[in-house]
Amino acid sequence: MPSIDLTGKVAVVTGSGRGLGLAYAHALAAHGASVVVNDVDEAVAEAAVKSIAEAGGSAVAEVVPVGTTEAAERLVNRAVEEFGRLDILVTNAGILRDKVLWKMSDDDFDAVITTHLKGTFTCARAAAVRMREQGEGGTLILVGSPAGQRGNFGQTNYSAAKAGIAAFARTWSMELGRANITVNAIVPVAATAMTETIPAFAPYVEALKNGQPFPDFLRKGEGFGTPEDCAALVPFLASEAARSITGQAIGIGGDKVAIWSHPQEIKAAYADGGWTPDTLAEAFPTSVGAELQSVGVPAPKFPEA
């Protein structure tokens, strides 16, 4: 494999003040890219920039909540003004407003959709315009979630947004292919402020903070590790080594990397002249109904005490 060298490349990473976004920004900078760090908290964004600089990287901060066209254009313009171009966009910014369907308000729904789905759309559109003008290709890395691949209880808004992001990757990979712009969704699983709130993971996350590594059953069996474990995928996808990879949903976490399948028909049945409700009721259970699919993010399998 060629070494991953992003020297001369410029990246925007949304939501990169902390957590996974910060790990992505650090990984890109460590491989030579200049990075525009984005967060809604100025102190957090500046601290991220400082940490990248102290590690020998180059970064600036742009403090703006993603979602609007104006915010997207600010991020792209900042990259061009500071570093002269834009080559890589990582759409990581996100929020949670978890509630079951019958308790979720319009505001809960709209806030998550605006940040995740519209924020990804507006930022990707602004980046694609710039990359096409440059005429040298580029990379869009859209951050998805297992919730978007399988659904998750209490996450109507988040699951819908992340499912849409995976669909963006498939669609934009076709639309931007001629411009040599690759588009992929990544599906990270890591110990973050979000996963710390899950009781089953909490003791292991606390142990990690005290210097104890995650056990193999988490890192391998569950594909669950640190944000830095997930970050390796980002500079790889932004590099020349991955120019042939586009339109994919790629999972990463702990010691595990995986390709998620795209939705597709897995079983079909036919009736001459078409179906009626009665013929469906008769045939469904033993034909396509025999292949009903599971839903939800599987619960972690912890070893017995």
Residue 203 is which amino acid? Answer: P
Mark whether 162 is an active-site residue: yes
DSSP 64-127: --BTBHHHHHHHHHHHHHHHS---EEEE-------B-GGG--HHHHHHHIIIIIIHHHHHHHHH
Q: Please report the sign of the dihedral spanned by the C-alpha atoms of residue 193, residue 57, residue 46, residue 9.
A: negative
- Between CA 7 and CA 110 the distance in angstroms is 39
Q: Which of 9, 16, 118, 145 is catalytic?
A: 145
Q: Which of 24, 118, 158, 173 is catalytic?
A: 158
| Residue among 11, 137, 13 at smallest CA distance from 79 | 11
Which residue is it, tokens 């009626």? 276
- Between CA 83 and CA 282 the distance in angstroms is 65
Q: Which of 162, 173, 204, 239 is catalytic?
A: 162
Mark whether 270 is an active-site residue: no
Mark whether 158 is an active-site residue: yes
- Number of Cβ within 10 Å of residue 246's Cβ equals 21
- Between CA 71 and CA 129 the distance in angstroms is 15
CA distances from 191 to 57, 166, 200, 226, 253 (A): 24, 22, 12, 5, 9
Residue 18 is which amino acid? Answer: R
Kindly list the catalytic residues.
145, 158, 162
